[in-house]
Structures are given as C-alpha cells and as structure tokens.
Amino acid sequence: MIASVSSVQHRVVVSETVARALRERTPVVALESTIITHGLPQPENVQAALQFERTVAERDAVPATIALLDGIVHVGLEPEQLEQLAARETPLKLSARDLPVAIAQGATGGTTVAATALLASRAGIRVFATGGIGGVHRNAATTFDESADLGILGSCRITVVSGGVKSILDIGATLERLESLSVTVLVFGTNRFPAFWLSDSGYQVDSPVTTPEEIAQVMQAADQLGLPGGILVANPLPEGTQLDPALHDRLLAEALDAAGEASLRGKEITPFLLDYIHQHTGRSSVAVNLEIVRGNCRLGADIARAWSAVEDGA
C-alpha cells in the first residue's frame, strides 16, 4: 500500500511502511535505485536491491528505496515495484535536474545520488546510504565537469553514507569543492579519506568519528546552527576487502587512456571507466562494489537509529 506525502498533483508517494516510520520517528535509511536500472544485469540487480534493504532492516531501520515509476516518485518500493523497475527495457538514469521533465512525461527511471538525496530530504528522511558519490572530474579546469551530487549535498539537509568519492575522479579537487559548499565531511574510524574501491585515497580529513552516536550529535549541531546543506560520512572498506591497489592504478590509467582515444565527454566518461575496470577485473570489482554498499547500509542504519534517539530526546 502507498500513502501520499503530498498532493497527487505533485506526484510523490511514500510507502505506508516508510510513512509510518517517519510519523513515529523510527529509523529510516534512503537507498538509490540506479543500481537496479544501470548498475547490474538481471536478476542480479533485484537480488542486490533486496539484499541492501534486508541489510538495513536487520539493523532495525526501515529501508526506503527511491525511484520514478510512470512519472510518480516513490519513496519506498514494494518488492513487485522493484521487479517492475528492473524489468523495464530502457529506464532512465535520473539526476536531480532530470526529475521535472521525467515526471511531466510519465517516465520511469532509477535515481542517482543527487536525485535520491533531494527526494529523501524533501520526504523528511535524514540518512541515505549509497556506494560512492560523484565529484569533480579529472581535467575539470577545462571541461567544468562536476557531479550534481556536490551541489545537492550543499543544499539538502541529509547525511550521506558512502565509500568516499569514486577513485576515477579528482578526489583532492572534490574535497576542496565540498569545503567551498560548506559540506561537513566525516570519516568513520580513521582520518584517511577512502577512494571507493580503495581504503585510502591518500587524503586525510580533520574530522574522524568513531561511533554512530557521534555522527548523530554532529547532525544535531548542524541543525541548531541552521546549516542549509548536508553531511558526508565516508566509510572506508577494510583493507582486506579492497581492490588490489596496484591493479586498480594500472587499470584506471588504461581506462583513462581508452576514454581519451574514444573522445568521450561528460556523462559518458564515468560509466565507461567503471565498466572498463569491471570487465578487466573479471567483475571482482563488482563484488567489492556490493560489499561497499552493504557496509554503508549497516552504518547508515546505525546512524539512523542514533538520530532517532536524538530526536526522541529533543
């Protein structure tokens, strides 16, 4: 069953389970849906999506997978809706700027980090678990190529749990941009900022945190200050589960050369680089991807529970 969170005119609905959790201030974790539409083939995509939801639920939080189905924004998908989304032959990949057109045209698609963060924030969800966020691309000084994820993080009050920034990007420039946008950046358990497949990007941050409760306290302080944007919590992989750093560096260099030879630009670059690395690791990098998201789902649920405790005590 679904319950409207706004008028039908606005075409946004929230599942009854998520709506009840929000009303009762019980923990909720938002999840994106591009892994269903663009991240994995069938039936792996649905299996992974259900596994992420179970991981959140096993930590006593309510999962809220977000997607667009026939022009309707759904915050929280039922299993049959996950199947429906996975079965679409040409679903769209929807960033925040794409949502108005897609809604108006009655389209179906998976929501990216930017779109998911925006929609979750509007629905009142405070924690969102994903894989890795986008950022400033290499050579952005000439291409001006920067992910919409950063702007949304700078303007939406939400805590995003990720494996850091994708290693195919310019991580140093991305951290500088996050600072410019006044996005608070935390790293869980260390001060070494991760690089998605790798536990350590070579950059460090000033604000390591060690418990979900500490993160919830940072969220509360940000609210009290009235900061307009969100918080990025980077959750490094254990070193034993990361992609081999030497293999990663070699394949990334090869992938960047191949992208240059193919004259790829803009949004064509990231999926090409990711696919190149997936194919040349025998898809072992996909297994690492899934472990990253599962770990972030666990931490996201723990943060959501800590945040609920803060709300109850407010």
Range of the domain at 65: 1-125
**For residue range 228-250, what is the model confidence (pLDDT) as tens digits?**
999 999 999 999 999 999 999 99
**For residue range 46-69, what is the model confidence (pLDDT) as tens digits?**
999 999 999 999 999 999 999 999
Phi–psi pair at 69, nearest 5 degrees: -120, 115
Question: Do residues 130 and 114 both lie within one domain?
Answer: no
Give the confidence band of 115 by pLDDT, cuts at 50, 70, 90.
very high
**For residue range 126-168, what is the model confidence (pLDDT) as tens digits?**
999 999 999 998 877 777 788 999 999 999 999 999 999 988 8
pTM of the full predicted structure?
0.93
Distance set, CA 8 to CA 13, 66, 74, 103, 257 (Å): 8, 17, 12, 12, 48
Is the pLDDT reported for residue 92 higher than 90? Answer: yes
* Contact between residue 158 and residue 205 where contact means Cβ atoms under 8 Å apart: no
Number of domains into which the chain is organized: 2
Question: Do residues 1 and 105 both lie within one domain?
Answer: yes
- Catalytic positions, please? 32, 166
DSSP run (H or E) holding 84: helix 79-87
Which of 72, 99, 125 is the last residue before a domain boundary? 125
Amino acid letter, 22? L
Question: Do residues 136 and 108 both lie within one domain?
Answer: no
What is the CATH number for 30?
Answer: 3.40.1790.10
Which of 65, 94, 125 is the last residue before a domain boundary? 125
Distance set, CA 63 to CA 49, 110, 265, 298 (Å): 10, 16, 35, 11
